[in-house]
Amino acid sequence: MIVRQLQVGGMGNYSYIVAAEKGGPCVVIDPGWDVPVLLEELKKGGFTLAAVLLTHGHYDHSQAVPELLQAAPAPLYYDRNDAGLLGFEAVDARPFEGDFTADLGFASARFIHTPGHTAGSCCIQLGNNLFTGDTLFLDACGRTDLPGSDTKAMYRSLLRLAAMDGGLEVWPGHAYSEQAHLPMADVAANNPCIKAARRGEDDFLFMMGF
């Protein structure tokens, strides 16, 4: 898989372009900002947009969807629990609920439901890559003090992610760390939120300020 990690906007967001090969179909994950930058990258790689995938509905991950889909029409996949957070309606919306696999032709996108930051937060697996949005950062996890957040759900989601294949490459939703991506084995061993979750629910809630 080819992964293009693009830092966009003023909040350190990452948007991603993922494809099996140059000149082929691709997905865009979390287009929150800078559509011209995304379109330029698509053009450079000769990529055609097969779908847009959202890790969750917050505006900094999704507000550029209408502009992107106007330039390159494609289906939009998101968990319906976050539908109320989206400030637009997509022409070809493909809402799902919970764990879900989308067959995109060139690849399967596996959505792993990881609520906590929002009710509809997902991590998206494409090949050996796991796009973790605002659920799991390399050195932290997403906030759970926002409307729709659930700290106990985040606790369970982090344990679920930490139990996944250590060889998966973790690609977070924000540039909050020195490294841009890391294997799950490294994240699971060192991430303070995962470490607290492994000590138990009480330790995790305490660390998160609850």
Residues that bind Fe ion in the complex, under the rule CB under 5 A: 58, 134
106 vs 137 by CB, closer to Fe ion = 137
Q: How far is the CB of 14 from Fe ion (least distance, A)?
A: 12
Work out how close the CB of 40 gets to Fe ion at its nearest, in angstroms, rounded to a whole number.
25
58 or 113: CB nearest Fe ion: 58
In the complex, the smallest distance separating the C-beta of residue 116 from Fe ion, rounded to whole angstroms, is 11
Our CB check for Fe ion shows the closer of 79 and 134 to be 134
Could you tell me the smallest distance in angstroms from the CB atom of residue 134 to Fe ion? 4
Nearer to Fe ion by Cβ, of 58 and 181: the residue is 58
For residue 125, the minimal CB distance to Fe ion (Å) is: 19
For Fe ion, give the closer residue by CB, 34 or 134. 134
Distance CA 194, CA 124 (A): 19
